[in-house]
Structure 1
C-alpha cells in the first residue's frame, strides 16, 4: 500500500471552523500523502508530497461512503448536493461516514494542474498527463490515511466516470457503486465537445477562453426544452436571455476556476476508455442512472454499459432539464440511490 502521512483518526486538523456543524462536518482539511513512497502516474511521472484537501461528514469508521465530485465541483458536498446530504437522506452523517476529496489536478486545494504543470513543462492552457486511475489511486491513499477499509462509491458526471475508475483500480476496496449521468467511456461526441472547449482555452489564454469553454459546456448540460422553459425572451437591454445566461456562467467560472485544470481533467476523461472485458470483470453491484433528456451523455448510451456489468442495474431520471437534472431536478433520485446504498 502507498505510504502516507496519517492524520489523527478523525482526519487532518481542520483549516478552520467547520462550515456545516449541523452535518458533523470536518472540513476543509488537508493531508500530505506519498511522503515515504512516491505516486507513480500512468504517464511514468513520479510524484511525492501530494497535498489533498477534503471534507468528511459523520463519525470516522472503517467503512465509508465516498462522494466523487463533477468536473468543476469540489469536496464541499453540503454546498452543491443538499438533496443528498443530511439526516434521512442517502448521505446521512448520523448513520454513515462520508468522505469527499478534491481531485488531483483540480483547483480547490489538492495539488493542482498548474502546480503539476510547472514541474512537467505544460504551458498556459496546456494539459498535464493525468488519468482517472491516477485520481483513484490518490483517493485510495487518502482513505487509507483515514483508516477506511471498505467504501461505497457515488459519483455524477465526471464523478460517475471516476466511479468506474475506482471499480477497476480498487476492486478490493469498493463494495458497491452508484454512477449518475455518466458513461464508462467518452463517445466521439463528448470528446468533440471537450476538444472544442480546450481549443477555446488555448486560443484565448488568460481566462477569456475558459469563459467560452464554459459556455460550450453549459449548452450540453441542459436540454433544448429546459432552455425554452428557463431562458426564453429577452433581458434589458434587449439581450436574449440565453445570451445573458451563458455570458454570466462563463464569467462566473472564469472567476473561480483554472484553465489548466479544465484542460487536464477533460483530457483525462477523454482518455479513459476501459474495454468491455474490463467492465465485465467488475463483480460488485452497480446502480447506473441515466437522465432522459441528457444530450451530453444520452440515456441510451449510459444504459448500454449496464449490459457489460455482471451485477449492474439501471434506473432513469425523467426530467426535461438535461444532464444537470441530477443537481437541479433530482425528484425521486435521492430515494432510489439511498435504497441502493443501503443494500
Structure 2
C-alpha cells in the first residue's frame, strides 16, 4: 500500500481534485525500470497469483524470475485502493485509473511497461495507450473491445438498476447473475450445468444464485456501480484510436457473447499497429480464466517481442 498525490492532487475527468490517494498493489520479481503491468477485471484484484495461475510463474508469460510484474487495485474498487467508501460516489473514468497507475509506477521507479489486461483490464489497457503513450512499449488486450457497445452498456445498466432497486446486497446478487450469463455462453452452460444441486431447481439457477452470494461476500455494490459506469463511459473516437501507435495484440474469444469476437477484431482493425488472434473455446468471455488453451503461449511470445501469428 502506498499513498500518492501528496503535493500535487490528481484532477479527475469529472473535475474533482483528489489528494493522498491510497493504492494497494502486488509486485513480483526484482524491481527494475522496465515492468510488466497486469490490469485486472471488474471484480478482480491485484493478487495475480490467486486468480491467474496459468499466466504467473517461472516459464509462463508473467515470469518473476525474468520480469518485474506489477498489478494494482483500481481506483474506485474495493480491494484496498481508495473507492466509494473513502471517496464518496463520485464518477471515476478509466483514464483516471491510468493516471493513478502511472503515479504508482513513478513511485516504484518504473519508466517503461508492457501491459496485459483482460476484460475490464483490456478496456483499461486502451485507456493507458491513450493516456500514457510514452510509457507503454506494447499491450496484450484479452477479451475486450476498444469501447463499450450499446449491448455492453445495456447489460451494465440493467445490473445497476437491480442494485438501485434492491440496495443492501440483494441487488448486487442479481447484478452478478446478469453478468454471469454474459460471461459464459449457451454452449458452456449446456456443458457444465447439468446436475441438479437442489431438488426441483434447475442446475443453472443454483449456479447463478451461488455466484451472486459469492460476490456479495467479497465485493461492494457502490464499487460495482462506479466501475461499470467507468467502463460504459470509455468511448474513444476513431481519431483517438488511430493515434495509438503502440504494438497491440488484440485477442477475441470465439464464443464470447459479452464482447463478440467480431467486435474485438473490428476494434483491432481501427488501430494502426494491432494484430488480432482468436481463442477458440466454448466457455465464452470467461475462457481466459477457465479454458486458456494456447492463450498463455501466444501472449508470452508477444510480450517477449516475438511476432504474433495472425
- Report SS of the residue matched to 2:251: strand
Contact 2:198 2:206 in 1 (8 A): no
Q: Which residue of 2 aligns with 1:14?
A: none
State the TM-score, normalized to the length of structure 2.
0.98
CA distance in 1, matches of 2:255, 2:279: 9
Q: How does 1:94-173 map to 2 (within 5 A)?
A: 94-117=65-88, 122=89, 128-173=90-135
Q: Which residue of 1 aligns with 2:279?
A: 317
Q: Which residue of 1 aligns with 2:15?
A: 44
Deviation readout 1:7-29 (Å, 9 max, x if unpaired):
xxxxxxxxxxxxxxxxxxxxxxx
Deviation readout 1:129-177 (Å, 9 max, x if unpaired):
1100000000000000000000001100000000000000000000100
- Report SS of the residue matched to 2:297: helix
Q: Which residue of 1 aligns with 2:154?
A: 192
Q: Which residue of 1 aligns with 2:308?
A: none
Aligned-pair CA distance for 1:233: 4.1
Aligned pair partner of 1:59 in 12, 30, 35: 30
Moved more, 68-77 or 106-115: 106-115
Aligned-pair CA distance for 1:191: 0.3
**RMSD in angstroms over aligned alpha carbons?**
0.6
Structure 1 unaligned blocks of 5 or more: 1-29, 123-127
Q: How does 1:240-319 map to 2 (within 5 A)?
A: 240-319=202-281
Deviation readout 1:118-138 (Å, 9 max, x if unpaired):
xxxx4xxxxx31100000000
CA distance in 2, matches of 1:93, 1:268: 31
State the TM-score, normalized to the length of structure 1.
0.88
2:62 aligned with 1:91, yes or no? Answer: yes
Aligned-pair CA distance for 1:265: 0.4
- Report SS of the residue matched to 1:32: strand
CA distance in 1, matches of 2:87, 2:161: 21
Aligned-pair CA distance for 1:115: 1.7
Aligned-pair CA distance for 1:236: 2.7
In the comparison of the two structures, how many residue pairs are matched? Answer: 305
CA distance in 1, matches of 2:94, 2:191: 35
CA distance in 1, matches of 2:25, 2:290: 24
CA distance in 1, matches of 2:174, 2:230: 20
- Report SS of the residue matched to 1:235: coil
Aligned pair partner of 1:222 in 176, 179, 184: 184
Q: Which residue of 2 aligns with 1:80?
A: 51
Deviation readout 1:217-249 (Å, 9 max, x if unpaired):
000000000000000242232311101000000
CA distance in 1, matches of 2:298, 2:137: 18
2:301 aligned with 1:339, yes or no? Answer: yes
Contact 2:159 2:176 in 1 (8 A): yes
Deviation readout 1:252-309 (Å, 9 max, x if unpaired):
0011100000000000000100011111111111000000000000000000011111
- Report SS of the residue matched to 1:256: coil
